[in-house]
């Protein structure tokens, strides 16, 4: 069975640079498990690696779809497994890297999210309910029929709340049941999962600094260009952290300083949620960046562990 290296952890913890360092030393190619980096034209706000940073290493699931295209964990799993096979067939080392916990879990736990087909009418009706009564109303509805999924899904993540309700209404069984069933089937590959962490305060400082760099590098201009290209603020991709706040600023609803502070705050909260998700995964071997001086040393420790 072929081995796949997975690098997980919160935003701004150094996952991208470590993955590139490892790929360079292990004849690897990289598959992104980031739900925002897969969108074209969204580079600065997603902290997408530049051509220079990629160092000639092939990356997959970056610039995969247009911001207006629908993308979900089912498509991610299907494409990620396809790309893993392609990399293995080339005799190279697949490295999956990203902070989207659901994407990573779908591979490691072999979760089958496609038990039921999409019911667009039901989905639209639930979406309307969320708009009329609020996201908490819909989340409470889910809690009544699938408490486990409700505990794992944030009330503001309306898209996933709707999907969980859709699965229940179509199969009369909670999504958590389907996930548990699919976990019993072993994955096609052996996954070695590395988790990056660091002192919480230091991580928050890195997040704040990263946001300042994004603004300096032209995040406002990037969002303006997306609007000019016709990507409306109602689409999922434009609701990502960094994009919705700048959109609000461009509409005159806030100052740029206020928008920046909200991006920093929401990015810190997101990092906290990511850590909570990954800490539940028993398979992760954690490496604290605080114990190593640089990426080279972290890579050395990871290779020794592997």
Q: Are residues 193 and 78 in the same domain?
A: yes
Residue 16: per-residue pLDDT: 96
Question: Annotated binding residue at 10?
Answer: yes
The model's confidence at residue 166, banded by pLDDT at 50, 70 and 90, is confident
The model's confidence at residue 183, banded by pLDDT at 50, 70 and 90, is low
Q: Are residues 101 and 197 in the same domain?
A: yes
The answer to whether residues 153 and 176 touch, using CB atoms and an 8 Å cutoff, is: no
Mean pLDDT value across the chain: 91
Q: Is residue 164 part of a domain?
A: yes
Q: Are residues 92 and 11 in the same domain?
A: yes
Domain ranges, residue 131: 120-183
CA 128 remoteness from chain centre: 26
CATH of the domain at 172: 1.10.20.140
Question: Annotated binding residue at 13?
Answer: yes
CATH of the domain at 81: 3.40.50.300
Q: What is the pLDDT of residues 227-243, one digit of tens each?
A: 999 998 888 899 999 99
Q: Are residues 223 and 254 in the same domain?
A: yes
Q: Are residues 152 and 297 in the same domain?
A: no
Structural domains in the chain (count): 2
Q: Is residue 297 part of a domain?
A: yes
Q: What is the pLDDT of residues 12-57, one digit of tens each?
A: 999 999 999 999 999 999 999 999 999 999 999 999 999 999 999 9
Of the residues 156, 183, 210, the one at which a domain ends? 183
CA dihedral 9, 37, 100, 78 (to 10 degrees): -130
Q: Is residue 136 part of a domain?
A: yes
CA dihedral 288, 294, 300, 303 (to 10 degrees): 50
Backbone angles phi, psi at 95, to 5 degrees: -125, 115
104-140: burial string, b at 16+ Cβ within 10 Å, e else: bbbbbbbbebbbbeeeeeeeeebeebbeeeebeebbe
Residue 182: per-residue pLDDT: 62
Residue 156: per-residue pLDDT: 82
Q: Are residues 179 and 274 in the same domain?
A: no
Evaluate if residue 244 carries a pLDDT over 70.
Answer: yes
Residue 46: per-residue pLDDT: 97
Evaluate if residue 61 carries a pLDDT over 80.
Answer: yes
Determine the Cα–Cα distance for residues 287 and 104; give it in Å rounded to an integer.
18
Q: Are residues 190 and 174 in the same domain?
A: no
Of the residues 136, 151, 183, the one at which a domain ends? 183
Cα separations (Å) of 205 from 11, 43, 244? 12, 22, 22
Q: Are residues 86 and 190 in the same domain?
A: yes
Question: Annotated binding residue at 15?
Answer: yes
Residue 150: per-residue pLDDT: 87
The model's confidence at residue 152, banded by pLDDT at 50, 70 and 90, is confident
Q: Is residue 115 part of a domain?
A: no
Q: Is residue 40 part of a domain?
A: yes
Evaluate if residue 252 carries a pLDDT over 60.
Answer: yes
Residue 193: per-residue pLDDT: 97
Q: Are residues 222 and 174 in the same domain?
A: no
Q: Is residue 190 part of a domain?
A: yes
Evaluate if residue 60 carries a pLDDT over 80.
Answer: yes
Q: What is the pLDDT of residues 69-127, one digit of tens each?
A: 988 888 999 999 999 999 999 999 999 999 999 899 999 988 776 555 566 677 777 88
Distant-in-sequence, close-in-space partners of 294: CB < 8 Å, separation ≥ 6: none
Q: Are residues 263 and 195 in the same domain?
A: yes
Q: Are residues 239 and 297 in the same domain?
A: yes
Mean pLDDT throughout 278-306? 90
Question: Annotated binding residue at 19?
Answer: no
Residue 246: per-residue pLDDT: 97
Of the residues 129, 156, 183, the one at which a domain ends? 183
Q: Is residue 246 part of a domain?
A: yes
Most confident of 177-191, 241-255, 282-296: 241-255
Q: Is residue 35 part of a domain?
A: yes
Q: Are residues 97 and 85 in the same domain?
A: yes
């Amino acid at each position: 069975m072929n081995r796949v290296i997975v690098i997980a952890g919160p935003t701004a913890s150094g996952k991208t640079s470590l993955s590139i360092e490892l790929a360079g030393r292990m004849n690897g190619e990289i598959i992104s498990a980031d739900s925002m980096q897969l969108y074209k034209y969204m580079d600065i706000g997603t902290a997408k690696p530049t051509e220079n940073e990629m160092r000639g290493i092939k990356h997959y699931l970056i610039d995969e779809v247009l911001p207006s295209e629908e993308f979900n964990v089912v498509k991610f799993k299907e494409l990620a497994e396809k790309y893993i096979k392609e990399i293995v067939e080339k005799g190279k080392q697949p490295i999956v890297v990203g902070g989207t916990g659901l994407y990573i879990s779908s591979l490691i736990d072999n979760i089958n999210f496609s038990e039921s087909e999409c019911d667009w009418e039901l989905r639209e009706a639930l979406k309307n309910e969320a708009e009329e009564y609020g996201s908490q109303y819909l989340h409470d509805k889910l809690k009544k029929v699938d408490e486990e999924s409700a505990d794992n899904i944030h009330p503001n993540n309306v898209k996933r709340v709707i999907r969980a309700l859709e699965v229940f209404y179509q199969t009369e069984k909670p999504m958590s049941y389907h996930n548990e069933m699919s976990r019993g089937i072993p994955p096609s590959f052996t996954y070695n999962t590395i988790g990056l962490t660091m002192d919480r305060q230091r991580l928050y400082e890195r997040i704040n600094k990263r946001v300042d760099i994004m603004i300096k590098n032209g995040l406002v201009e990037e969002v303006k260009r997306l609007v000019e290209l016709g990507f409306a603020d109602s689409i999922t991709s434009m609701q990502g952290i960094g994009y919705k706040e700048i959109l609000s600023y461009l509409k005159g609803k806030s100052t740029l300083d206020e928008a920046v502070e909200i991006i920093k705050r929401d990015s810190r909260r997101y990092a906290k949620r990511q850590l909570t998700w990954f800490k539940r995964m028993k398979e992760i071997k954690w490496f604290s960046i605080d114990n190593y001086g640089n990426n080279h040393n972290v890579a050395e420790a990871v290779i020794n562990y592997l």
